[in-house]
Copies of this chain bind each other. A is one copy, B any other.
């Protein structure tokens, strides 16, 4: 049984992680942390009424009170760096989903983890399916340089292309480099038809009510096509990746950045 603490348990992701740890048969939830929580035990909350687990308000009390192997962190950027450093110093393996770490911060934390010979994971994206989609796309691009990305999201999303689409394009670019696609003389009779151009590959952003988060990476070659698609229907999908992270960090000897390095 891996003993786990969840920091930031009152946020949406933290709450989902708390439930995942409670339900996972290989994990033991030994505590949860939130500086503003007024309750002192999870069983004071309606949805955890039978779960006898202490709620802490500060990290120092956590380590004084319970023994823990893994520190799951879904707090906020301004707190996550301190938490991660603290966990490593205390010999606890961090599994961090909070985003916003600078490169310098990540490097410091990796160095610290190496000194401690302690595993850890910081992952901006815990969706295993999305990470596999990106890895497979990068590999396929070695053989099929012609590729377009179609990403589809609900219509209250503000940015286009999505972060995942851009990350995928970067990984494909790293494999195949610059490559002119389409006919050199192609013309758009309505601007934007051919999508966003990223080093020659095209990205198309679909926004419709009803959609959740979907991406299709489509490769074409003489007489054939290869398509890799990821559909995300629910935030709960991230938890498969968080659980995998908690298991893998037990065997690692340093902190790694990105779930892809564990797959």
Contacts and interface: CB of A to CB of B under 8 A. Distances in A.
Contacts of A150: 150, 204, 206
Interface stretch (A27-35, A40-48, A62-70, A190-198): A190-198
Contacts of A51: none
B210 A185 contact: no
Interface in A211-251: 211-212, 218-240, 244
A233 B212 contact: yes
A209 B155 contact: no
Contacts of A207: 148, 181-183, 186, 194, 202
A25 interface: no
Nearest to A235: B223
Given A221-B210, A221-B237, A234-B222, A244 B143 contact: yes
Interface stretch (A4-12, A53-61, A94-102, A125-133): A125-133
Contacts of A37: none
Given A143-B132, A160-B186, A160-B187, A225 B202 contact: no
B221 A209 contact: yes
A128 to B, nearest CB: 5
Given A155-B181, A191-B192, A263-B143, A210 B220 contact: yes
A235 to B, nearest CB: 7
A33 B165 CA distance: 48
Interface string A155-188: 1111111000010000000000000011101111
A207 B91 CA distance: 43
Given A209-B221, A234-B222, A234-B224, A155 B146 contact: yes
Contact of A204 (B146, B158, B193): B193
B190 A192 contact: no
B226 A129 contact: yes
A159 B223 contact: no
A227 B228 contact: yes
Contacts of A198: 190
B161 A193 contact: yes
Given A195-B195, A235-B223, A208 B146 contact: yes
Given A143-B263, A166-B189, A225-B229, 19 more contacts: A132-B136, A132-B143, A136-B136, A136-B228, A148-B207, A150-B204, A155-B182, A160-B189, A195-B195, A202-B207, A204-B204, A208-B220, A209-B220, A209-B221, A210-B224, A223-B236, A224-B230, A224-B232, A226-B229
